[in-house]
Structure 1
Amino acid sequence: MNFSMRRVNALFKKEAKDLSKNINVLFMCLLPMIFCIMYSKLFCDSQEGKLYILNMCLNMNFVLVSGLTIAMMIAEEKEKNTLRTLMLACVSPLEFLVGKAIIILLLSLGTNILMFFIIGMEFSYLGHFIFITTLVVISMMEFGAVVGIIAENQMSTGTIGMPFFMIILIIPLFAKINDACKIVANFLPNCNMEILLNRIFTNEHINMNFTYSIAIILGWIIMGAGVFAYAYSKKRLD
């Protein structure tokens, strides 16, 4: 099946319109920004404090916006019985995911960039910051989309997706004090993002660990795309 930008554009316009009417989703998008503003007034006296708050708020954004928001949007399609229509209209998994994800990608990246400036990071790091956080956002959106496909409705997205997203949110907080969490953190995209950003912001040299962290994040993107394609195809058959 050929990839159709026309179908993707139609899905994007539909999502932008639906999102503007969904108060719950809009509130979730604002939460990382609110916490970032609050914490920046309290703990941003040092570079270390800035990095800690930025990483924590980024993880919150990955969970609430990149992950759960797209899950709720897809589950809403199921509640309205429009997901079945899209599948029967021969919309491919890639077209469906891209059409849904563009608006979430823009929201997530916009939030990340605003938090970057709220924390007060140096402008020279912005390019590296956008590149690395974009990769993690993509991986989280893919797994959020899987949750949305599996869930029966918007309420169940939290029940199904929260165990996974809580691991993403909590593991970085305990990786420095618990050996088991540290081992798990080595294989999580957001934890490897933290390693990369900490090295970039402290002007450390790029080495093999940099390559390893990028490879882990790309691996999550590939794995997420495969899992979503399978879940979408299975749902279409059902």
Structure 2
Amino acid sequence: MSMRKTLAIFQKQIKDTFKNKAVFIQFIMFPAMGVIMKNAVKIDGMPENYFIILFASMYLAMAPITCMAEIIAEEKEKNTLRVLLMSNVKPAEYLIGVGSYIWLICMLGSIVFAITGDYKGASILQFLLIMAIGIMISTLIGAAIGTWSKNQMTATSITVPVMIIFSFLPMLSTFNSTIKKFGTVIYSEQINLLMNDIGNLQIKSESVIVIIVNLVIMLGLFVYAYRRSGLA
């Protein structure tokens, strides 16, 4: 595998982001909403970083899935991906280049959340580590959807319900005990629970097991989609 080609794909995505408004908005919408709500809404009894954790949880479960799936599906539909593969770019080089770009730019958004939430010292490291793990899992989900889909329309029809489940589950779990029981086996809910403990973080074995199992499952789904797509 050539790091030069992977880096070239990475740089290509940076240029393409500013051309694709739908993808660009995904990267800035939730951090911007977090900043606005944190500073504009003050309610007695509300946890200090309620809006930061809420929008950060939604961000890590929505932006990577949507953007990764849309980028891959668009390039498949426009035959750009085929041209790249015919130019001796290996599928793994392409996917790592795109995936690392999505992960990194989402981490920049995570830094905005961390600064707005006024996390410091060990707390900011805990926050960013938790976000990094969640974004990685979501990126795998988006990659699986993108490689499985024949075009953007198919990708969108799959992405929308998937991202709604993962992104809104943590919020809905706070209001419904039945949903909360279901949510405990989903990575985004466990990520949300860990965020709420930042500053006094005690990592429970349940959280670790659920996140690892989710990671393995998403990786398996990606590998399956990757092989079925004809890229392997």
TM-score (norm 1): 0.86
- Following superposition, the deviation at residue 108 of structure 1 comes to 0.7
Q: Which moved more, 1:79-88 or 1:143-152?
A: 79-88
Aligned counterpart, 1:222: 216
Q: Which moved more, 1:14-23 or 1:79-88?
A: 79-88
Alpha-carbon distance change, 195 to 47 in structure 1, aligned in 2, over 3 angstroms: farther
Contact 1:29/1:64 (8 A) holds in 2: no
Deviations 1:118-163 (A, max 9, x none): 1323343111111111011000001011121233333443321111
1:159 counterpart SS class: helix
Q: Which one has the bigger helix percentage?
A: 1
| Aligned positions of 1:115-194 closer than 5 A | 115-194=113-192
Alpha-carbon distance change, 20 to 52 in structure 1, aligned in 2, over 3 angstroms: same
Question: Identity of counterpart residues, as a percentage?
Answer: 25
Report how many aligned residue pairs link the two structures. Answer: 231
Aligned counterpart, 1:231: 225
1:112 counterpart SS class: helix
Alpha-carbon distance change, 85 to 155 in structure 1, aligned in 2, over 3 angstroms: same
Alpha-carbon distance change, 178 to 197 in structure 1, aligned in 2, over 3 angstroms: same
Q: Which moved more, 1:187-196 or 1:44-53?
A: 44-53
Cα distance between partner residues in 2 of 1:29 and 1:155 = 21
- Following superposition, the deviation at residue 166 of structure 1 comes to 0.7
Q: Which moved more, 1:51-60 or 1:81-90?
A: 81-90
Q: Which moved more, 1:113-122 or 1:227-236?
A: 113-122
5+ unaligned residues in a row in structure 2: which ranges? Answer: none
Give RMSD over aligned pairs.
2.4
Contact 1:44/1:119 (8 A) holds in 2: no
Amino acid corresponding to residue 139 of structure 1 in structure 2: I
Amino acid corresponding to residue 163 of structure 1 in structure 2: P
Contact 1:43/1:50 (8 A) holds in 2: no
